[in-house]
A = this chain, B = another copy of it.
Amino acid sequence: MLLTVLELIGVVAFAASGAMVGVTKRLDLFGVCLIGVFTAIGGGVLRDVLLGITPPTSLTTWKYFTTALVTSVVVFFAHAAIRKLRREILVLDALGMGLFASSGATIALDVGASNQAAMLIGATAAIGGGVLRDILVNEVPLLLHRDLYAIPALIGSSVVVACAAAGLGSNVGLVIGTVSASVLRVLALWRKWNLPGPRVVD
């Protein structure tokens, strides 16, 4: 139950971030909805395909799709007000990222994936939607050139794997993994942490 609520919060945050990008790119209502939905469920679909869970869970029930669609419509009509919530959306997005990384790793372990696969597929679930969003609007994916994003995701999924290896229950891993990844992401945004910058190319 808690998992479902948290997951839907993540879907709302990711759909909002996708739809905001769509509005900025001056897409029409349908384009904004499409990119909102792709951003929100893309990571989960990719995770399920990599794990052999077909059809992917987020295509099998209406919950995720409808939540993402409604969020996108709201953003389309209320984007001016939502733009003022930019900071709040970034925090929501960090929470969604942490949760998708942790739930992705948990699901991977559940279906018998190796520890490495769980770490990498969890991180993929967390970053996949955003990468798809950026490819669709023809931008170099943000995570390739700004902010720490994929490293917190990888840390979140690794924490889940470590908790499982330590014999802790999967809910414990889920909570600690989500909190680690999300807090690290918020700290990185707040403190403007970055890795070594681009090399000078002659």
Interface residues of A (CB under 8 A from B): 22-31, 34-35, 45, 49-52, 54-56, 59-62, 65, 76-77, 79-80, 108, 113-114, 116-117, 120-121, 131, 135-141, 143-145, 148, 150-151, 194-199, 201-202
B138 in contact with A137 (CB, 8 Å): no
A–B Cβ pairs within 8 angstroms, 23 of them: A22-B144, A23-B198, A25-B145, A26-B198, A26-B199, A27-B144, A28-B197, A31-B143, A31-B144, A34-B143, A45-B50, A49-B54, A50-B54, A50-B56, A50-B59, A52-B55, A59-B121, A60-B113, A62-B116, A80-B202, A136-B140, A138-B138, A138-B139
Tallying the copies of this chain within the complex gives: 3
Q: How far is the CA of A117 from the CA of B59 in the complex (A)?
A: 5
A116 in contact with B151 (CB, 8 Å): no
A59-B50, A116-B59 known; A27 vs B145 contact (CB < 8 Å): yes
State the Cβ distance, A39 to closest chain B Cβ, in Å.
12
Q: How far is the CA of A77 from the CA of B25 in the complex (A)?
A: 36
A120 in contact with B50 (CB, 8 Å): no
State the Cβ distance, A145 to closest chain B Cβ, in Å.
5
Question: Which chain B residues lie closer than 8 Å to A201 at the CB level?
Answer: 23-24, 26, 79
Q: How far is the CA of A35 from the CA of B198 in the complex (A)?
A: 14
B136 in contact with A28 (CB, 8 Å): no
Q: How far is the CA of A140 from the CA of B59 in the complex (A)?
A: 24
Q: How far is the CA of A44 from the CA of B119 in the complex (A)?
A: 18
A198 in contact with B27 (CB, 8 Å): yes
